[in-house]
Structure 1
Amino acid sequence: MVATKEFLTLPAALILDFGLGELPERIHPTVWMGKIADKLGSELRGGSSEHVCLKGGVMVLLMIIVSIAPVSLLSYVLEGSHWLIYLPITAILLKSTFAVSSMGSHLEPIVNSLRGGNLVEARRNTSRIVSRDTDDLDREGVASAAIESTSESITDGVVAPIFFFAIFGLPGAFFYRLVNTLDSMYGYKKGSLKDFGWAAANLDTILNYIPARLTAFMVSIGAWISGENFRDSLGCPLEDSGRTSSPNAGWPMSAVAGALGIRLEKEGAYELNSEGVSPDENHVLRSFSLMKFSAIIFSVVVTGLLGAIGILW
């Protein structure tokens, strides 16, 4: 369990994410991991169509070695350095595993398009953050898709990387971000990538099991602090979280739906908080506020725990 220096690292990383936004792509570790995974995946999927699941598993294993070994070595070296060296480097690296500012930059054009009445543009902007076909979505469908994506990002862009950082340090946060990236690239339930992405998808599901449920609770606390519906944000996940095909996605989405009093729906797949009102662009902004509140709350909790452990140890 890491604790002492990480007491300052986590709040510093969150401040960097809120204040400076995303790192440039040319120096963003997640972008690097994605490019390596894309090339490696193309190589492994070429040739014989046999043992596709095994090839996907090999890719995950190779990516873990290639990506996490350097981070682990760097983390080990930094542990012995002065905190003035350790803190900025580790905070910047940890910040790269977060997705708060990134989500905000994606939501802004969606909200602006909806406010301007440009549904075609809103659909196009929404297609950048969801895997579903957005061509036929109405205003409610666009807003719902954006809010659902934001809700899931509270888990995989905030709570999960912080959770694994708290337990395993910087390598833990990067390990989670790597698996989540591989899942987003290859973890499809249909199509040609279904078998190849099986290992990444299932590993991502396992890693998100606890963070997804923690996220629902963080959203509820955020709802209470921000004046949203605290009671329904607690109750809705208990009733509706099982309606999604994913064992994890329903928890943050139903918590946000309950907090905002809205209905979230993916046609033909699920409907969460069916008694809620239709979502609009204002609800999209409020869902992002819940994301920021959740990030701050969970960071405060984890920072406090790391500080207490550092004092006791």
Structure 2
Amino acid sequence: MIRWTGTALLLGFFIDLLLGDPRWLYHPVRIIGNGISFFEKHLRNLFPKTEKGERKAGLALVISICFLSGFVPLAILYIGYQIHTVLGIVIESFFCYQMLAVKSLKQESMKVYKELKKGDLEGARHAVSMIVGRDTKSLDEKGITKAAVETVAENTSDGIIAPLFYMAIGGPVLMFIYKGINTMDSMVGYKNEKYINFGRYAAKLDDIVNYIPARISAWLMIAAAYLEGFDGKNAKKIFLRDRYKHASPNSAQTEAVMAGALNVQLAGNAYYFGKLYEKPTIGDANRDIEYEDIKRANTLLYVSSFLGAVLFVAVRTVLLAGILFL
């Protein structure tokens, strides 16, 4: 299996660019999400309704989801490679393809762009609500555009570079474990009354596993900014200045690069579940953000993703060749 992972990574990456996520194909992340909901319900009933009890339940959730997220693809891959190497490569490539979100992220963000271009604010609010966690009902055109650009920036790391990084290290098994952790964070990693204790371990683990990929993503995006004629110098400047302005140690990394590359200001206050959260801004408002920036953000998404895929396969190939030589 190890020998063919680099090939499977590239095949999966290019299949994602071609096909995206067809709605008829049941996505593994939905299975993981259903598993998280199932375990949450039963673990909450199993452990005491205390601060310590909720944290233990949350830890049990993390252990369960990480184990199942890794064991299932490992078993399928093992069987596939035992039957025939080609079948194993096909399965490995398919797993990689399913864990990436390059084309789907572009498609969903471009739905926002198209509604804004038509002047349909309600349609744009609905479209952006499908890809962000914040409240969108009161957003104006600039707020909608900022939300779309920010989610493209953040998900360049979470949805593409980080999965590729873990695929290159440990194949689809580690890639699936990463997605399990990332999905747990998106479902239970909130700092509200319901999840502040139960989701504590999921949120902390997500911060840990995204630490390196988020920074690799930022530097890849800086390189993409230079290659595509954006303001690469300012992208690096804002990255170094503003990359720790979010509560999370990772989410502002690529947002800061995006803000600098486009010469706009991102982040700031936002409503979540009806409550206002005061957050610092990222970048300088050298010009007003406009809906065309969504297209520009997607250009940086695609180039950064391509650079990441090539880099990870190249490094993996060199390291594997060195190990085999020894």
**Both structures adopt the same fold (TM-score exceeding 0.5):** yes
Aligned-residue CA RMSD (Å): 1.8
The alignment of Structure 1 onto Structure 2 pairs a total of residues equal to 312
Moved more, 123-132 or 13-22: 123-132
1:27-84 Cα offsets, whole Å, 9 max, x none, are 3211111111112212223475221111111111111222211222233344556442
Q: Percent identity?
A: 27
1:107-160 Cα offsets, whole Å, 9 max, x none, are 122111111111122112212221211122111111111111111101111111
- Quick check: 2:181–2:206 contact (8 Å CA) kept in 1? yes
CA distance in 2, matches of 1:191, 1:23: 36
Q: In the alignment, does 2:273 pair up with 1:274?
A: no
- Quick check: 1:113–1:121 contact (8 Å CA) kept in 2? yes
Q: In the alignment, does 2:293 pair up with 1:294?
A: no
CA distance in 1, matches of 2:262, 2:199: 34
TM-score (norm 1): 0.94
- Quick check: 2:259–2:284 contact (8 Å CA) kept in 1? no
Structure 2 equivalent of residue 49 of structure 1:
49
- Quick check: 2:268–2:282 contact (8 Å CA) kept in 1? no
Moved more, 158-167 or 66-75: 66-75
CA distance in 1, matches of 2:82, 2:40: 36
Unaligned runs of 5+ in 2: 270-277
CA distance in 2, matches of 1:25, 1:36: 20
Name the amino acid aligned to 2:307: I
- Quick check: 2:163–2:175 contact (8 Å CA) kept in 1? yes
CA distance in 2, matches of 1:310, 1:240: 37
Name the amino acid aligned to 1:94: C
**Post-superposition shift, 1:248?**
0.6
Name the amino acid aligned to 2:311: V
Structure 2 equivalent of residue 59 of structure 1:
61
CA distance in 1, matches of 2:39, 2:62: 10
Structure 1 equivalent of residue 103 of structure 2:
101
Structure 1 equivalent of residue 39 of structure 2:
40
Structure 1 equivalent of residue 273 of structure 2:
none
- Report the 3-state secondary structure (helix = DSSP H, G, I; strand = E; otherwise coil) of the residue aligned with 2:305: helix
Higher relative contact order structure (alpha carbons within 8 Å, sequence separation ≥ 6): 1
- Quick check: 2:69–2:173 contact (8 Å CA) kept in 1? no
- Quick check: 2:263–2:284 contact (8 Å CA) kept in 1? no
**Post-superposition shift, 1:266?**
2.6
Q: 1:217 and 1:198, CA in 2 relative to 1: closer, same or farther beyond 3 A?
A: same
Structure 2 equivalent of residue 158 of structure 1:
160
